Amino acid sequence: MLSGHAHLYQRFTRLYANGKQAPYVVCGAGGFAVTAPMGKLPPAPFTSGDYTLEIDPLIEFGYLTVTTDAKTLTITFKTSTSSTTPPVEKDSVTVDLQKGVVLAGHGAVKPHGGAGKHPGYKPKKKGKG
């Protein structure tokens, strides 16, 4: 799923009940002004329901490249600070199109059966008040 309205870059992974995964990418980082999210987000990885925020929002101008070989699909986010600076890869995710799972990417998740928790998720311990 690709979306471009928000003026930043974010990537989520959605985990379906059948174990399949889909990356959700928000990339609106080429418009008027890059803008931080309106509300506070917990640091990535953070899971809410069946969505996991894989990386913290990137508040930089940039663009996506999407490549496929009919077996996999790779989405890459790159930034460039000027026309003379080479692009810098900031994030990438690869999906197995036949199995419907995320193969690689910063924060790639594996199917899990818990209560919507990312495999790497560990709740913060409450301190004594």
8 A C-beta contact, residue 23 and residue 15: no
Q: How many CB atoms lie within 10 A of CB 34?
A: 19
Q: Which of 36, 61, 29, 51 is nearest to 107 (CA)?
A: 51
Measured distance CA(79)–CA(46) in Å, rounded: 24
Supply the pTM of this predicted model: 0.72
pLDDT tens, position by position, 3-33: 666 678 889 999 999 999 999 998 877 766 7
Measured distance CA(19)–CA(94) in Å, rounded: 16
